[in-house]
């Protein structure tokens, strides 16, 4: 505070006490599956199909991951984290002029790559080009140095910036690479070829356990990545191992406040797709299943049609709906079109749809006017016989959005004095966030009192809780239920009656 020293007016700026709560992202997807190349043991962000092609090799025959990621971006997706699985793959390596390089990731993708070296402007510098099997330059680096104290010391620059090669020996990743003995010249080929290992076209629970470890390791794998949607293209409940793997991922989603999109079994029919349902485990609320598979052109076989799992398409529809309408809008209906496909495995009728829907399985439908669309919005806890409050996808995903946004937006409360002043600030900040959602039409009700409430006062924060350092914030909301059934009543009027 300024100490007055002269007669006059003094201006002081006071803190407002407002801590803005920003809504978290809702449609950042994670795709888990086999790829011919790319980082392993981590979740890697890609922001376009071209980005995926560059880092993970694009489409690969018999493997669904690339097709699902392509369909995700083609249908409205913007960001995705890729978890590449490998099983028995080895890494290519080669040496030249005293320098040894490894491919940046396991697989046979780099076996035909070449690294060309050029002499730099001084005795300790050089240039480097990475060429693929066709001779096309994938990367180019200049002014690299063999001097460890130089700003562009070659191992530091390459290990940080190259997508294709590294100085780090994958067998001893924690050890620093050896200092290059001399400036390299000529070319380097990968004389020790890499192996693709076993291609996981149909991963089982055992495969996931071997690659991702236990549930805690999955959480560590994603770390701070803000994943909201999880897809494992082609993983289904057709086997006991597959069903266990889905449960494994559902539990992760429950803890991470994410949502899992589950593919129905490829050979499922209307008669048996609901076998084993309904689900009653709490984690089933954080997932939804879609039926049937889709028929789409496969560029690797001249555009011939092939059956593919729908999770990537549906994840793209989630992202597009979130962006245009909000996460509280059901990602289904005539606006939820499926782009880039030729058709569906089955063309379902209304009666067939009616057999499946009450069990919590969402249908993909074809309508002559609207084309192929998502025609269901129930979670796997959404069977009529269960009666769960998390019956519908938009309500569950909206609740997850609120939980994550409020969790991030109230971190400032920790260690503040737990008194009426704090409670008032909490009501102000959380209330402002909820009011903003109300104005966007996210709740039922025509007034804020009907739509939501924020309670943080002496009633739910008694002295016993204060003594334990606990502040309780109670937030309630009236969700928007999707109009799943539209009933039009028509009555004939008798002529001549007033």
Q: Decide if 441 is inside a domain.
A: yes
Return the beta strands (E) in 329-400 as ranges.
Answer: 343-344, 361-367, 371-375
Return the beta strands (E) in 327-480 as ranges.
Answer: 343-344, 361-367, 371-375, 452-455, 474-477
Do 478 and 432 share a domain, yes or no? yes
Q: Decide if 21 is inside a domain.
A: no
DSSP 430: H
Residue for token digits 């629970």?
205
Give the CATH number, domain containing residue 301.
Answer: 3.40.50.11780
Token reading at 224: 């701070």
Q: How confident is the model at residue 237 (pLDDT cuts 50, 70, 90)?
A: confident
H or E stretch including 311?
helix 311-324
Do 152 and 33 share a domain, yes or no? no
Return the beta strands (E) in 136-202 as ranges.
Answer: 137-145, 165-166, 186-189
Rounded CA separation 63/99 (Å) = 35
pLDDT value, residue 487: 80
Where does residue 30 fall: left (phi above 0), alpha (psi -120 to 50 degrees), or beta otherwise? beta
Q: How confident is the model at residue 177 (pLDDT cuts 50, 70, 90)?
A: confident
Do 480 and 439 share a domain, yes or no? yes
Q: Decide if 132 is inside a domain.
A: yes
Are the C-beta atoms of 84 and 39 separated by less than 8 Å? Answer: yes
Q: Decide if 194 is inside a domain.
A: no
Q: Range of 249's domain?
A: 29-86+199-395
Q: Decide if 241 is inside a domain.
A: yes
Stated pTM of the model: 0.92
Q: Could you say which of 395, 421, 441 is where a domain stops?
A: 395
Do 443 and 386 share a domain, yes or no? no
Phi/psi of residue 240, nearest 5 degrees: -65, -35
**343-344 β-sheet, strand order:** 304-308, 294-298, 343-344
Q: Do the bridges between strand 343-344 and strand 114-119 make them parallel or antiparallel, or are there none, so unpaired?
A: unpaired
Read off the pLDDT of residues 341-366 as tens digits, 9 standing for 90 and up.
999 999 999 999 999 999 999 999 99
Do 276 and 376 share a domain, yes or no? yes
Q: Decide if 153 is inside a domain.
A: yes
Rounded CA separation 106/86 (Å) = 8
- Mean predicted confidence (pLDDT) in 262-278: 93
Do 253 and 181 share a domain, yes or no? no
Do 495 and 385 share a domain, yes or no? no
Read off the pLDDT of residues 369-428 as tens digits, 9 standing for 90 and up.
999 999 999 999 999 999 999 999 999 999 999 999 999 999 999 999 999 999 999 999
DSSP 434: H
Q: Could you say which of 395, 426, 459 is where a domain stops?
A: 395
Give the CATH number, domain containing residue 185.
Answer: 2.60.40.4290
Where does residue 98 fall: left (phi above 0), alpha (psi -120 to 50 degrees), or beta otherwise? left
- Mean predicted confidence (pLDDT) in 292-318: 96
**How many domains does one find in the chain?**
3
Q: Decide if 236 is inside a domain.
A: yes
Q: Decide if 6 is inside a domain.
A: no
Q: Do the bridges between strand 371-375 and strand 304-308 make them parallel or antiparallel, or are there none, so unpaired?
A: unpaired
Contacts of 422 (CB under 8 A, 6+ apart): 413, 416, 471
Phi/psi of residue 271, nearest 5 degrees: -75, -30
Do 183 and 236 share a domain, yes or no? no
Do 182 and 273 share a domain, yes or no? no
Do 141 and 273 share a domain, yes or no? no
Q: Could you say which of 163, 189, 215 is where a domain stops?
A: 189
């Amino acid at each position: 505070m300024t100490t007055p020293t002269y007669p006059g007016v003094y201006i002081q700026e006071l803190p407002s006490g407002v801590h803005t709560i920003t809504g978290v992202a809702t449609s950042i997807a994670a795709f888990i599956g086999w790829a011919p190349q790319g980082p392993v043991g981590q979740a890697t962000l890609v922001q376009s199909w071209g980005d995926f092609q560059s880092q993970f090799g694009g489409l690969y025959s018999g493997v669904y991951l690339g097709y699902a990621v392509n369909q995700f971006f083609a249908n409205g997706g913007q960001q995705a984290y890729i978890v590449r699985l490998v099983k028995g793959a080895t890494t290519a390596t080669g040496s030249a002029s005293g320098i040894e390089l490894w491919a940046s990731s396991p697989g046979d993708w780099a076996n035909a790559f070449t690294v060309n070296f050029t002499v730099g402007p001084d005795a300790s510098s050089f240039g480097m080009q990475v060429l693929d099997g066709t001779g096309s330059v994938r990367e180019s680096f200049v002014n690299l140095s063999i001097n460890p104290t130089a700003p562009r010391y070659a191992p530091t620059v390459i290990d940080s910036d190259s997508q294709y090669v590294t100085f780090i020996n994958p067998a001893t990743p924690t050890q620093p690479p050896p200092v290059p003995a001399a400036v390299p010249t000529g070319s380097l080929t990968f004389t020790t070829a890499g192996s693709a290992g076993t291609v996981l076209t149909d991963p089982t629970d055992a495969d996931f356990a071997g690659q991702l470890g236990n549930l805690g390791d999955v959480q560590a794998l994603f770390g701070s990545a803000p994943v909201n949607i999880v897809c494992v293209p082609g993983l289904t409940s057709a086997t006991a191992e597959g069903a266990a793997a889905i449960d494994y991922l559902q539990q992760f989603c429950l803890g991470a406040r994410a949502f899992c999109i589950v593919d129905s079994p490829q050979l499922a029919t209307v008669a048996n797709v609901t076998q084993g349902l309904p689900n009653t485990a709490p984690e089933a609320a954080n997932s939804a299943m879609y039926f049937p598979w889709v028929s789409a052109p496969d560029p690797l076989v001249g555009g011939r049609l092939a059956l593919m799992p729908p999770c990537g398409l549906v994840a793209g529809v989630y992202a597009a709906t979130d962006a245009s309408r909000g996460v509280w809008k059901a990602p289904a209906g005539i606006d939820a079109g499926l782009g880039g496909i030729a058709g569906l495995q089955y063309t379902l009728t209304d009666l067939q749809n009616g057999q499946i829907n009450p069990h919590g399985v969402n249908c993909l439908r074809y309508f002559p006017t609207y084309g192929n669309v998502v025609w269901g919005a129930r979670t796997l806890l959404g069977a009529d016989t269960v009666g769960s409050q998390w019956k519908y996808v938009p309500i569950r995903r909206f609740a997850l959005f609120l939980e994550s946004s409020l969790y991030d937006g109230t971190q400032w409360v920790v260690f503040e004095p737990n008194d009426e002043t704090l409670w008032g600030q909490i009501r102000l900040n959380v209330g402002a966030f909820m009011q903003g959602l109300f104005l966007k039409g996210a709740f039922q009700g025509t007034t804020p009192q009907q739509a939501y409430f924020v309670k943080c006062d002496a009633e739910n924060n008694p002295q016993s809780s204060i003594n334990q350092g606990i502040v309780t914030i109670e937030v309630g909301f009236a969700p928007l239920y999707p109009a799943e059934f539209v009933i039009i009543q028509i009555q004939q009027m008798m002529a001549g009656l007033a």
